[in-house]
Chain A
Amino acid sequence: MADKARGSSDLYKETLLAGLWRENPVFRLLLGMCPTLAVTAAVKPALTMGCCVIFVLLCSNIIVSLMRNLLKPHLRILMFTLTIATFVTIADLFLRAYFPDMSETLGPYVPLIIVNCIIICRAEACASKNGLAVSIIDAVGMGVGFTGTLCVLAGVREVLATGMIFEVPVMPGAFVPWAAMGMPVGAFITLGLMLGLVNLTSKGRA
């Protein structure tokens, strides 16, 4: 029994760390690329987006985990999608009511969380096979890992594009803003180089 208890706490830690780095959704699994590229022109929308994703991921993982024994295999993707769509609607209405300017900036990318591969992937790969506790921890790990990545990418792009972070200037006066970084070009190239960097560092360690 004691062995089993230790085993489960190890499992929790393992699950949490997997989401944060080893199976980081963006860098390792290449999931959820669309929002990653679209909302990272500045840190603030990226952070908002990350919070929305954490909320939706957590709620959908909980619900899917609770109903996993009732699911018929051929209907499960449909049920996942409907669950996710419901929570995304809640998140969208919440943003529109309390943070109208953020809702304006993010625009259709909030409803697009419905088709964010991370959430379906976690529902399918984790929540539909595991109990409540593991699903919740997995959602937190993956969500925070995703948000972290988004913020790093957004930070790099915002500093290079405007010389500011959270609208506070951080670069020396001689710095010339590099407007292209705030545009689609910057998103693709920054993410590509960051993926390359991650590959490089992880290979050095292995």
Chain B
Amino acid sequence: MDTVNALILAFISIVIVNNLVFTKFLGICPYLGVSGRIDMAFGMGMAVTFVVTLSGTLTYMINNWILMRLGLDVARYVCFILVIAGAVQLVEMYIRKFFPSLYESFGIFLPLITTNCAILGLCLFLDLWGVGSLLEAVVLSFGAGVGFTMAICIMAGIRENLKMADVPECLKGAPITLITAGLLALAFMGFAGMIR
């Protein structure tokens, strides 16, 4: 029962309290780029969730079972980025085969997930936090993806309404999005300290 509790707490903490976008600034590029429409934002969030769960789990296994054991810490970053690139390629092939319309609407953003800081960032944070078990690593990776999806969907919802707003000319586009993100981060700060 304790394990289940710990896992649920870890999940809530990574989704809300330590949200990658608002507290660690990871994944800002797709966050600004794809948050224009809510359906695309959701698709992007799903793709990221899938890749991050896969690569978080794989890098955890590689890091703990191969690199640490052989003392190959130096090669860690190179290995991580290779695993992520492979996982992205897999997702790309899968989506192209089974969801061609979704593939069309992603366009350039799908290969760009490789360079999404949220994914490599999460793999590095798993290492930094000293995650104890494989199960916890899986839950944290999945939670990170859910947190990203939530953040990008909230943002897309706000931006759809912002279109109607009277924004000063010079703040249109990225600046107002960043300021909105700032206010959202302020709201999410309210959760800080709730867990850990």
Chain B residues in the interface with A (C-beta under 8 A): 22-29, 32, 74-78, 81-82, 85, 111, 114-117, 119-121, 124-125, 128, 168-171, 174-179, 181-183, 185-186, 189
Contact = CB atoms under 8 A, between A and B. Distances in A.
A11 interface: no
Interface of A is mostly: helix
B89 to A, nearest CB: 10
Given A89-B74, A196-B170, A114 B29 contact: no
A9 interface: no
Nearest to B75: A89
Contact of A192 (B27, B81, B178): B178
Given A184-B185, A189-B178, A81 B81 contact: yes
Interface residues of A, number: 43
B124 A184 contact: no
14 contacts: A77-B114, A78-B85, A82-B82, A89-B76, A92-B77, A112-B120, A112-B121, A115-B114, A115-B116, A184-B185, A185-B185, A185-B186, A193-B175, A197-B170
Interface in A70-102: 77-78, 81-82, 85-86, 88-89, 92-93
Given A89-B74, A192-B178, 17 more contacts: A33-B28, A38-B25, A77-B114, A81-B114, A81-B115, A85-B81, A112-B117, A115-B119, A115-B121, A184-B22, A185-B183, A192-B175, A192-B177, A193-B179, A195-B174, A196-B168, A197-B170
Interface majority SS (helix, strand, loop, mixed), chain B: helix
B171 A189 contact: no
Contacts of A34: 25-29, 117, 121
A114 B115 CA distance: 8
Nearest to B23: A184
Contacts of A111: 77, 120, 124
B189 A185 contact: yes
Nearest to B82: A82
Nearest to B181: A188
B128 A117 contact: no
B25 A37 contact: yes
A1 interface: no
A93 B74 contact: yes
A93 B23 CA distance: 26
B77 A108 contact: no
B182 A108 contact: no
B25 A192 contact: no
A120 interface: yes
B78 A89 contact: yes
A63 interface: no
A114 B81 contact: yes
A107 interface: yes
A65 B81 CA distance: 22
B22 A30 contact: no
Given A81-B85, A82-B78, A82-B81, A117 B115 contact: yes
The 6 A-B pairs of least Cβ separation, nearest first, read A188-B182, A192-B178, A189-B182, A192-B179, A108-B124, A200-B170
Nearest to B178: A192
Interface string A20-51: 00000000001101110110000000000000
B120 A115 contact: yes
